[in-house]
């Protein structure tokens, strides 16, 4: 019988528990520790004789979470697992998916290649930055897109205007909007690749007196979403809410979002929660479990 192993990275346990409930599968918690010199250690149950599903989101500190994920695959195969499936609700390094500047790495190629060589046969992730990146993983992979599910849970009115912060995120806005029968559009975002500075350019969108929901994959520093919200409120939007798959919320992101006038951020629980009334988490473990059934 398949065993679900909850990895030690922050945010993994709740998802592992949700998956094991839906699949009615045995759940165990991996042992872990950090040696005095900073190296990581994990241990899984001995005598595994079937598939294992290792739930280890690649949450900050991403590099440690990644190393633990790799060690868990090796430990599980060594304990007899026939196949190792990684559930990584947040796939770190997925935004560096090409060489934007000469001399840069394709970081997600390195990450997915390392996960494969450490023993994973399949990967399930939630809303990787670009789905094509999964081609860097040689085994089976599934990218779970959470926006329809989140729209059903949030259930905003159908006269909501749904916006992507840039053209690259339009499909995300479309999936959310179609689930509630709303209109959708996109803003124009430009990022300076040297400084990281973001500019959201004004675009005439019928936002006046509208409830607006901005849909994106990630909030990291909050710069993209805060600038978009400020612009929309200046254009007369009545309220601005945000839906994201991954709320990384680095540094002072929560304060930045509050200052921009955003009323609420809805985030999937792919990362550990930040306890602030601005952020409401939606548990997506059931849709991950449904997708896992295709592999198990």
Say whether residue 165 binds ligand R5P (CB under 6 A).
yes
* Bond preceding residue 83 cis, omega within 30 of 0: no
CB nearer ligand R5P, residue 223 or residue 272: 223
Q: Determine the length of the chain.
A: 296
Taking residues 70 to 109 in sequence order and writing x for each that binds ligand R5P by CB under 6 A, - otherwise, the string is: -------------------------x--------------
Give how far the C-alpha of residue 163 lies from the chain's centroid of Cα atoms, to the nearest Å: 19
Say whether residue 219 binds ligand R5P (CB under 6 A).
yes
Among positions 224, 269, 270, 285, the unique one binding ligand R5P when judged by CB under 6 A? 224
The C-alpha atoms of residue 95 and residue 91 are separated, in whole angstroms, by: 9
CB nearer ligand R5P, residue 88 or residue 169: 169
CB nearer ligand R5P, residue 161 or residue 253: 253
189 is catalytic: yes
Say whether residue 143 binds ligand R5P (CB under 6 A).
no
Among candidate residues 228, 275, 220, the one with its CA nearest the CA of residue 247: 220
The C-alpha atoms of residue 96 and residue 133 are separated, in whole angstroms, by: 10
> Least distance in Å: CB of 200 to ligand R5P?
10
Give how far the C-alpha of residue 32 lies from the chain's centroid of Cα atoms, to the nearest Å: 23
The C-alpha atoms of residue 196 and residue 199 are separated, in whole angstroms, by: 10
Classify the phi-psi angles of 71: left when phi > 0, otherwise alpha if psi is within -120 to 50, otherwise beta.
alpha
Q: Cβ atoms within 10 A of the Cβ of 235, count?
A: 16
Among positions 150, 223, 240, 271, the unique one binding ligand R5P when judged by CB under 6 A? 223
> Least distance in Å: CB of 88 to ligand R5P?
17
CB nearer ligand R5P, residue 121 or residue 166: 166
Catalytic residue among 98, 189, 258, 293: 189
Taking residues 189 to 208 in sequence order and writing x for each that binds ligand R5P by CB under 6 A, - otherwise, the string is: ---------x----------
Please count the CA atoms within 13 angstroms of the CA of 179 that sit on its side-chain side: 19
**Binding interface with ligand R5P (CB under 6 A):** 95, 165, 169, 198, 216-224
What residues are annotated to the active site? 189
């Amino acid at each position: 019988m398949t065993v679900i192993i909850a990895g030690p990275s922050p945010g993994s346990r709740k998802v592992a528990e949700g998956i094991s409930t839906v699949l009615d599968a045995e759940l165990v918690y991996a042992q872990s520790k950090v040696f005095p010199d900073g190296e990581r250690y994990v241990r899984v149950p001995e005598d595994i004789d079937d598939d294992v599903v290792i739930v280890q989101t690649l949450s900050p500190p991403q590099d440690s979470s990644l190393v633990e994920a790799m060690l868990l695959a090796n430990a599980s195969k060594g304990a007899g697992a026939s196949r190792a499936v990684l559930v990584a609700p947040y796939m770190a390094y997925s935004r560096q998916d090409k060489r934007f500047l000469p001399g840069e790495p394709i970081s997600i190629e390195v990450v997915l290649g390392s996960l494969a060589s450490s023993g994973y046969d399949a990967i399930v992730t939630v809303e990787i930055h670009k789905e094509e990146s999964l081609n860097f993983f040689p085994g089976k992979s599934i990218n779970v897109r959470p926006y329809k599910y989140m729209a059903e849970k949030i259930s905003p009115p159908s006269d909501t205007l749904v916006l992507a912060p840039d053209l690259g995120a339009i499909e995300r806005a479309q999936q959310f909007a179609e689930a509630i029968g709303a209109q959708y559009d996109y803003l124009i975002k430009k990022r300076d690749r040297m400084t990281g500075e973001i500019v959201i350019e004004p675009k005439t969108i019928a936002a006046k007196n509208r409830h607006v929901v901005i849909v994106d994959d990630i909030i990291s520093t909050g710069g993209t979403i805060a600038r978009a919200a400020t612009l929309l409120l200046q254009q007369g939007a009545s309220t601005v809410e945000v839906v994201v798959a991954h709320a990384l919320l680095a540094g002072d992101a929560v304060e930045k979002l509050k200052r921009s006038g955003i009323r609420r951020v809805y985030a999937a629980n792919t990362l550990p929660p930040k306890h602030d009334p601005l952020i409401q988490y939606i548990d997506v473990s059931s849709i991950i479990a449904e997708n896992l059934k295709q592999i198990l």
